[in-house]
Structure 1
């Protein structure tokens, strides 16, 4: 519309049409222009929902266990030389002794402490149970000899006879021989046959000492081929010492190897703490003074 009373104009400030009365006060002052607000943009078209499909995990939310990680295979290196411990402590006191080896030569083997009075089997140095102590050797007195004080004459089930200190207990270790042990385990006598054909008593003890030399604390004190046992039988004699960790003292051993008049090869040793030397040798000489294997006796008077 054009000017005059009641003229209608668009008021940009109020964004509406208004009637303007110019006769009263004159032309109405136009309000300052207000920037036009652009109309809002048209709405975006609706995005259709995605069709459901299989997901990587179960809908329960339980995630599967990851596959195990495979570690690289490692090859165990086998040493070129396998060291076999063939030296151990014999009996409760720990004597060294010979057994038959597969090569036809003697080797040092191991024995366990003597079995307790209960008769329960012990474990040998090879890791298996040793035989339970067999029945005690029968004690007897020779009518032609006086038994030394503190000893008794025993006829061992293995077929030999000798003097043994009173109160000592017997244990048969099969191929390893027979042990007579003191009650406290500090002293022992061991009798074992040397079965290798053609091996002299001296060679047997020399080879034994060579094997024992590989062990820490071993000391060969003497090795002789001109010894004799009671009755005058020629014998080889080995004296050595070592540290007995089980008993906590240094140990000294005297070992005699000899042939009986019938050609049987025996080795008999006596072991005790090194501090009581030469008690071991005196005990061994007393034991051998009436030693017989069957009818083969070292001393003619022992028969």
Structure 2
């Protein structure tokens, strides 16, 4: 059997058969291995667009809080004390006079803190009193030598020794009556003033001699307490009423307990010239 085969030992092709082996030309050289194929280019991966020149990437954490809104109110509510200025009274429905002087004065000359006064031409005021048109607009009669002050609690006229005072403010609580307002005030005052005593609380009418602006829709609270300002006991008459224009006012007259009933007489004089703002 003849044939050709590659002799690994001799490194040549040889004939297979019965005859002598014949020499053959050396096999062609092995072909060089072809170079590896050119690699495919790496695909371009599309990433996020580069930020605009000059701008940095920002990461912000936004905290959102729900705002708690209180019930809307029609008027500004402040705390008002009765008696001393200021007096402790946490009742939240008492307000200072609604037309109180603004904290920021309008352009122009600074207004004087001294209220304008109009001398009585009728001769009906007791000696030592004058009629005053207050800066807030209302009119009343006050002792000649008493000084005016104003705070969130209302308008005050005080004696020079500060033992006695007149306080005026509006009642801003909606849907209330003079009696209900004074009843609530008495409850509050009883917890805020040492030695508090409610002497009387009742519905009443305009006192004799009061101006026509004071209607008969009124109530009166008389009470006493130990005043830290005086270092003595003070007695107060608190008169709440609806004025002719529908505004509710409180006029409070206080003085030493030993002066009673001068406080009640003074209240009558104050109201004799009262006119709302």
TM range (shorter): 0.5 to 0.7
Q: Which whole-Å deviations, capped at 9, do the CAs of 1:161-194 have from their partners, x for residues lacking one? A: 0100011000011x41100000000000000100
Residues matched between the structures, number:
179
8 Å Cα contact 1:177-1:190 kept in structure 2: yes
Q: CA deviation at 1:226?
A: 2.2
* From 174, 184, 197, the counterpart of 2:174: 197
Relative to structure 2, which stretch is displaced further, 225-234 or 282-291? 225-234
Give the 5 Å matches for 1:3-18.
none
Aligned partner of 2:148 in structure 1 is 170
Rounded Cα–Cα distance in structure 1 between residues aligned with 2:238 and 2:249 = 10
State the TM-score, normalizing by the size of structure 2.
Answer: 0.59
Q: CA RMSD in A?
A: 2.6
Q: How does 1:132-281 map to 2 (within 5 A)?
A: 135-144=113-122, 146-173=124-151, 175-215=152-192, 216-229=194-207, 230-231=210-211, 233-234=215-216, 235-281=218-264
CA deviations 1:50-78 (Å, max 9, x no partner) are xxxxxxxxxxxxxxxxxxxxxxxxxxxxx
CA distance in 2, matches of 1:199, 1:134: 35
* Structure 2: gaps of 5 or more residues: 1-78, 97-110
C-alpha change, 1:106 and 1:90, in structure 2 (3 Å) is: same
Unaligned runs of at least 5 residues, structure 1: 1-85, 110-132, 295-303
Q: Tell me how far apart the structure 2 counterparts of residues 97 and 179 of structure 1 sit (CA, whole Å).
A: 16
Shift of 1:89: 6.4
Deviation of 1:143 (Å): 3.7
Distance 1:289 1:87 in 2: 25
Task: Give the TM-score taking structure 1 as reference length.
Answer: 0.54
1:63-142 matches, cutoff 5 A: 90-91=83-84, 101=92, 105-106=93-94, 135-142=113-120
Change (3 A) 1:293 1:145: farther
